[in-house]
Amino acid sequence: MNVSAKPERTRLSAEDWEDAALKLIADQGVGALAVEALARQLGVTKGSFYWHFRTREALLQAALERWEQYGEREVISQIEAMPDPRARLPELFRRVAHELAPHRVYAALLKALDHPQVVPVMARVSQRRMEFLTTIYREAGLPPAEALNRARLTYSAYVGFLQLNFTLGLPRISHEEFDAYVEHMIATLTPS
Amino acid sequence: MNVSAKPERTRLSAEDWEDAALKLIADQGVGALAVEALARQLGVTKGSFYWHFRTREALLQAALERWEQYGEREVISQIEAMPDPRARLPELFRRVAHELAPHRVYAALLKALDHPQVVPVMARVSQRRMEFLTTIYREAGLPPAEALNRARLTYSAYVGFLQLNFTLGLPRISHEEFDAYVEHMIATLTPS
DNA sequence: GACAATCCATACTCATCCGTATGGTTACTG
DNA sequence: CAGTAACCATACGGATGAGTATGGATTGTC
């Protein structure tokens, strides 16, 4: 009878605050990250917060670092484990397309590129992903220069799609239409 | 001797405020749009502002509408005027690529998709551009469904590139490299 | 079960920014 | 050159949210 919605109301740790912060960022953006609002959502008051963190900035910093670490390393390693290099690209595309949920934080941070704290984090994450993509394209047969440009194009398309269909709600694309779009992407961006 | 930086310090109109607002949005984002800051920048005080506008929201609204109207109609009409349909795509790509300045407001608004006021504006603008792109792809020979998907892909790449290389400063791409990237885009996204 | 460390609540201060009230100044019109 | 309308300055009120101070409650440890 007490598997309640409230997470058992035990005392909180710094990690609890960081997770809550990330959730709030994913839902309402970095700008909505206010300590009193977070405290209400966690069922406590500011007094708790300022015991765990020195300032609001410190929380944001910790949350960002946490997100960067807990990043999607699984995807990268799983893709790299595939034997056939040519099969990696389509698999990566379909994978990313079908689990957009983990990318909600990334999409939110994309809209917060004016905050000095998020820029370096996003730069590192985006850079790593871009390099991974470039490698895959080289392994798929593209010469270095072309692989880099194709990776730029592909990753830009990913970022743009997040903004247009995730954040902005451009004419709600249906499920079948979305699948068709993904296949179109694969056909267009995969080296023949 | 008096072609001064200060724009002659005559009295201000509502349009002056809207232009200043757009400039500030392009530079520092929608979140930085504060009336006292704007007033300082214009060399006046709040008293002036609240004569021209009822509220801060009203200014944002007016500025957005102004931006939407003064939009890049020239580009679209000029491209449509080209006789050879197949030549339109490359020309459009190169044009957009070489004058990124007018797209700074669009990039800034992209980061403000949580504000209820900007969503409808961005939806309309993006929708119009997407439809234009779709038409061009059809005229270039793609069947309707494929033209739509290709337009989605192309426009996503545009939006994503804005975010990655404009707002975020991913490893500052050189001028030559950028040109090569644009040509790669054309080669990849233009129907053979 | 006492005592210290950890965690949290309450009650403030302070800065910022939106909006209002009101009176002054500049430009236009007959 | 009046007088009116357009424009702006100054000085307020009120809301919001960050950060501080301090005492109380809870948890572990000898």
Looking at residue A9, its pLDDT comes to 57
Find and give the residue nearest to C25, measured CA to C1': B11
Q: Which residue of A has its CA nearest to B25?
A: A114
A121 touches B: beta carbon within 8 Å: no
Q: Which residues of A49-75 are buried (b: 16+ CB within 10 A; e: fewer)?
A: beebbeeeeebbbbbbebbeeebbeeb
Q: How far apart are alpha carbons B42 and B131 in whole angstroms?
A: 39
Average pLDDT over residues A96-121: 93
**Structure-token pair, residue B143:** 């069947």
Looking at residue B23, its pLDDT comes to 95
- Give B56-83 pLDDT, tens digit per residue: 999 999 999 999 998 767 788 889 899 9
Average pLDDT over residues B175-182: 96
- Exposed, middle or buried, B76 (CB in 10 Å: 0-12/13-18/19+)? middle
The percentage of chain B sitting over the pLDDT mark of 90, rounded to a whole number, equals 79
Q: How far apart are alpha carbons B71 and B102 in whole angstroms?
A: 9
Residue B85 amino acid letter? P
**B75 to chain A, closest Cα gap in Å:** 21
Nucleotide nearest to B44 (CA to C1'): D8
